Amino acid sequence: MKPGQRRKVVVGNWKMHTTAAEATQLAQGVVDGVGNEDGVSVILCPPFPYLALVGAILKRSRITLGAQNMYPEKKGAFTGEVSPTMLLDVGCKYVILGHSERRHKMGESDAFINQKVRFALASGLDVILCVGETLEQRKANQTEAMLDRQLNSGLADVPVADLPRISIAYEPVWAIGNADHHATPQQAEDAHAILRGRFSKLFGKEAAEAVTIQYGGSVEPDNAAAFLSRNGVDGALVGGASLKADELLAIVRAGINEGRVEMQPT
Ligand code: PEP
């Protein structure tokens, strides 16, 4: 696969936001705004209680439903947890795993994230695996080592046949939800090149050319095109700006424009 053939993707991670009424309005606004446009893949990841509600709104649209997390068991005595079987049952196709808020606020280890990745894939969910360094690690020149470690461990023992069902999100921890501390598009491009290089070492050049690597960290309407136009930046994982339909739609439009540029024959 040539680099230009990767389809752009925009993922809205609503985190622990919205009420049922707000989720309804937001999802409907995105559905109406995207319409029949299919130049970009759009995925919405609402909180667990609103998955079915939002899933019903997305039903006849081009937008896909994703979850923000899951527990790596089919069912059982795991109070407060949600299984991939349940997520599939309410219409999810994707699950975000390894988000920095789960790594750093909930203490999820590399090994646990890997267990989740393998279980999600085996259950039938496609995986968006988040990786990214902290500010201290970047300052200590450990970015490459961290990305290596998180990718290696996150994808350990993943069946090669499942690789097309995995995408990577590079999310520098210091740039997430941080209006004062944006990564530059060049920093994103460099990190994506490191990740694609590591992916190539693990699974070969063809798999590395095919894998979608999206950027996340305060992507907003006014910087989306700058990120999405960069070499190897195949999409955006959007938190804050995904809570307003018009802002997410502006990012989707940037993805459509930059995707078109990339798809042009050279
Ligand atoms: C995220 O939720 O993964 C994220 C990148 O959030 P924000 O866009 O708010 O930085």
Is residue 118 within 8 A of residue 111, CB to CB? The reply is: no
Q: How confident is the model over 196-251, as pLDDT tens digits?
A: 999 999 999 999 999 999 999 999 999 999 999 999 999 999 999 999 999 999 99
Give the chain's mean pLDDT: 95
Query: In this structure, which residue's CA is closest to atom 1 in ligand 1?
Result: 239
- Mean pLDDT confidence for 116-123: 98
Domain 10-182+191-263 has CATH 3.50.50.60: no
Q: Residue written as tokens 């290089």? A: 197
Burial class (CB in 10 A: 0-12, 13-18, 19+), 10: buried
Global pTM exceeds 0.85: yes
- pLDDT surpassing 90 at residue 72: yes
Distance in Å, CA 177 to ligand 1 centroid = 5
- Cβ–ligand 1 distance for 176 under 6 Å, the answer yes
Whether 262 shows a pLDDT value over 50: the answer reads yes
Write down the pLDDT at residue 179.
74
d(CA 229, CA 188): 11
CB distance 237 to ligand 1 below 6 Å: yes
Give the ligand 1 atom nearest the CA of 240: 9
Residue 180 pLDDT > 80, yes or no? no
